Amino acid sequence: MKSLWSADARLELLRRIDRLTPDSPALWGRMNAAEMVAHAGRGMKLGLGELETKPRQTIFRYWPLKHLFVYWVRFPRSAPAPREMVTRAKPVTWASDVAGLRESIERFASLERRGTWPVHPVFGTLSAKAWGALGWRHLDHHLRQFGV
């Protein structure tokens, strides 16, 4: 299983991000490439504990569904994102948004794996291992959305 805790997995993601352009066409969904980069950056801020969230009572907070969706089940293409991760603001600039996403991935990797982690609005309490897997899977999902 790939994770943001793995240097090789992070490098793979960073190389895929480098292949994106502002004009990369989406294979599905409503976001353009710039909106996706901004959304992915907000997802990383969520994992870093820098994005305030409101927990929801969903069935995905409980075993085995939480485990299945965090580690195994491919994200559905039409799955709604938590409100906190949907940004209505326009992306700043392509270069700054991509640089911010890359920096947040590296910053996540430098975190201590022990201690308290932010509560995910859909999945609830997650371990460091779960955050690493979920972060990698979320980024992979959106990079596949743009064919990279």
Regions of the chain short of the pLDDT cut 50: none
Write down the pLDDT at residue 90: 63
Write down the pLDDT at residue 88: 57
Write down the pLDDT at residue 36: 93
CB 66 within 8 A of CB 124: yes
pLDDT digits 0-9 by tens, 121-143 = 999 999 999 999 999 999 999 99
Write down the pLDDT at residue 136: 98
In order of their start, the domains of the chain are 7-145 (1.20.120)
Query: What global pTM score does this model have?
Result: 0.94
Q: What are phi and psi of 120, to 5 degrees?
A: -80, 140
Find, among 90, 79, 101, the residue nearest to 18 by Cα. 101
